[in-house]
């Protein structure tokens, strides 16, 4: 695109801030409408696999991510007592590190700083209230009463995407998988220098993920009724009750958890927009378009890939419509593959019957998927 565009991003989460940085660094005029009042994120960690770190390098924040996080290379599979069953080296994309664990608040903070440094304007506490696309531009009113005309509006507004509802009504509603993720941040044990997946067969799996020199998080997935919520007085006890089959490092990690409020409970849902991800000059990306289960640790990685590839497509094409088409052609197959493999792994790990197509996908396994995902996005 020859001249700078005016781009409004709805949602300043991981994908939205990555896009803001990538576009502002290219000279586009970028604003982000973020409904939260300040930079904030769940107080747990996230894994940045090599493809996500490759994007972080492309937008200039790789070193900041590695400084704030914990770089690691070996995935360890362990039995319930902590004995190592397998050590699996993780692949890297070009010269990006294989993986980085990082606290979500640190990632949010550094992406926000990068977007602002690049020249993007972040408008906290705002959301879109009116939007009209007349084919040559999009007129938007924000909740603070301000109005503007934009060449492109991007919905990076998460799995519950209000912009998706604006485009497609209730055609795409997140579907609860029947499983939920329990997470808690604990002191890092010195031997946990990469993800340790403790497995008690189909009864339970629990992951320890280092996120700083001092901290790691413990995560585990269980079948839970849709309306279940942990008891605010004893969530930590409820988590321990679900992991009684573990001794060793996982039990030691659990023993340090005394505050029920430190337990983060997230229902696992997914959504796929099967129609086009853009309608005119309004486009959905990241979880808003294709939220997947967390079993490959690739949801945010797909969101940041979406962001960078969108910026690259706008560079390469002569108009917005062509760029959005080229972007979706490139992104949809990969995001759909991640979603399908991730869902199949959830089913396999929880003993849920799989389809023949899912059995085919499962032949590749989590380590094989990592090798596929370090190929160019
Ligand atoms: C349990 C769990 C573990 C996970 N672990 C990993 C992992 O290890 N690695 C990984 O890559 N991925 C992981 N993911 C997935 C990852 O968190 C998401 O895929 C990723 O955050 C999606 O990024 P996004 O920018 O699309 O959406 P989000 O990061 O959800 O950002 C959406 C933003 O939009 C804002 N917003 C919402 N509504 C509005 C509105 N009306 N107006 C303005 N702003 C609005 C929100 O406040 C938010 O800031 C995990 C997910 C779960 C549930």
pLDDT in tens, 3-32: 999 999 999 999 999 999 999 999 999 999
- Residue ranges of the chain assigned to CATH 3.30.9.30: 177-269
Structure confidence by residue, pLDDT tens digits, 117-126: 999 999 999 9
The encoded tokens of residue 215 equal 């901290």
> How far apart are the C-alpha atoms of 65 and 92, rounded to whole Å?
16
What is the C-alpha to C-alpha distance for residues 373 and 369, in angstroms, rounded to an integer? Answer: 6
Structure tokens at 27: 């000279």
Residue identifier of the C-alpha nearest atom 49 of ligand 1:
13
Can you tell me which atom of ligand 1 is nearest the CA of 300? 11
Between the CA of 14 and the centroid of ligand 1 the distance, in Å, is: 6
User: In this predicted model, what pLDDT tens digit does every residue of 131-183 receive, in sequence order?
Assistant: 999 999 999 999 999 999 999 999 999 999 999 999 999 999 999 999 999 99
Query: C-alpha distances in angstroms, 249 versus 63, 216, 267?
Result: 30, 12, 25
Among 36-40, 89-93, 124-128, 270-274, name the one with the lowest average pLDDT.
36-40
What predicted TM-score, i.e. pTM, was given to this entire model?
Answer: 0.97
Query: What percent of the chain has pLDDT above 90?
Result: 94
A 10 A CB-CB count for 299 gives: 25
In sequence order, what are the residues at sequence separation of 6 or more whose Cβ sits closer than 8 angstroms to the Cβ of residue 144?
123, 125, 126
Query: Could you tell me what percent of the chain has a pLDDT over 70?
Result: 100
Q: Tokens 């988590």, residue?
A: 239
Mean pLDDT of 78-106: 96
Query: Residue 291 C-alpha to ligand 1 middle, in angstroms?
Result: 9
Distances from the Cα of 270 to the Cα of 82, 172, 336, angstroms: 32, 10, 11
Pick the CATH number of 177-269 from 2.30.30.40, 3.30.9.30, 3.40.50.12780, 3.40.50.10310: 3.30.9.30
Rounded CA separation 69/98 (Å): 13
Classify domain 6-69+99-173+270-373 at the CATH topology level: FAD/NAD(P)-binding domain (3.50.50)
Mutate to test the pocket of ligand 1, among 36, 294, 306 (most ligand atoms within 8 A of CB): 294
The C-alpha atoms of residue 260 and residue 283 are separated, in whole angstroms, by: 39
pLDDT, one tens digit per residue, over 60-88 is 999 999 999 999 999 999 999 999 999 99
| Residues at CB less than 6 angstroms from ligand 1 | 10-16, 33-36, 46-47, 52, 127, 156-158, 162, 181, 266, 268, 286-288, 294, 297-301, 303
Residue located nearest, by CA, to atom 30 of ligand 1: 158
Q: What is the pLDDT of residues 348-370, one digit of tens each?
A: 888 899 999 999 999 998 889 99
Confidence check: pLDDT of 2 > 80: no
Ligand 1 centroid to residue 11 C-alpha, Å: 9
Q: What is the mean pLDDT of residues 247-268?
A: 97
If one counts every other C-beta atom within 10 angstroms of the C-beta of residue 169, the result is 9
Q: In the chain, where does the domain assigned CATH 3.50.50.60 lie?
A: 6-69+99-173+270-373
């Amino acid at each position: 695109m020859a001249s700078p565009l005016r781009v409004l991003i709805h949602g300043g989460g991981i994908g939205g801030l990555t896009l803001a940085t990538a576009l502002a660094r290219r000279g586009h005029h970028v604003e982000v409408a973020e409904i939260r009042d300040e930079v904030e994120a769940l107080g747990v960690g996230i894994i940045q696999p090599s493809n996500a770190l490759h994007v972080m390098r492309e937008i200039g924040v790789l070193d900041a991510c590695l400084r704030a996080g914990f770089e690691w290379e070996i995935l360890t599979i362990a039995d319930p007592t902590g004995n190592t069953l397998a050590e699996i080296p993780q692949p890297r994309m070009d010269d990006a590190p294989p993986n980085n664990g990082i606290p979500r608040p640190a990632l949010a903070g550094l992406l926000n700083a990068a977007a602002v440094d690049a020249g993007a304007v972040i408008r906290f506490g705002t959301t879109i209230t009116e939007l009209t696309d007349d084919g040559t531009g999009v007129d938007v009113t924000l909740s603070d009463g301000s109005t503007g005309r934009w060449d492109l509006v991007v919905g990076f507004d998460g799995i519950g995407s209000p912009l998706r509802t604006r485009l497609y009504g209730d055609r795409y509603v997140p579907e609860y998988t029947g499983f939920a993720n329990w997470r808690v941040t604990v002191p890092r044990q010195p031997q946990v220098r990469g993800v340790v997946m403790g497995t008690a067969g189909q009864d339970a799996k629990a992951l320890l993920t280092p996120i700083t020199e001092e901290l790691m998080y413990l995560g585990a997935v269980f079948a839970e009724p849709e309306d279940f919520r942990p008891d605010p007085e004893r969530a930590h006890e409820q988590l321990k009750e679900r992991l009684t089959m573990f001794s060793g490092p996982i039990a030691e990690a659990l023993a340090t958890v005394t505050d029920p409020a430190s337990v983060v409970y997230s229902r696992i849902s997914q959504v796929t927009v099967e129609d086009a991800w853009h309608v005119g000059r309004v486009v959905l990306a990241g979880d808003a378009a294709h939220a997947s289960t967390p079993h490959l640790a690739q949801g945010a990685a797909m969101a940041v890939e979406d962001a960078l590839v969108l910026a690259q497509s706008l560079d390469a094409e002569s108009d917005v419509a062509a760029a959005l088409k080229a972007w979706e052609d490139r992104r949809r197959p990969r995001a759909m593959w991640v979603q399908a493999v991730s869902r199949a792994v959830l089913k396999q790990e929880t003993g849920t019957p799989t389809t023949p197509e899912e059995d085919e996908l499962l032949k590749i396994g989590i380590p094989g998927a990592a090798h596929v995902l370090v190929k160019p996005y």
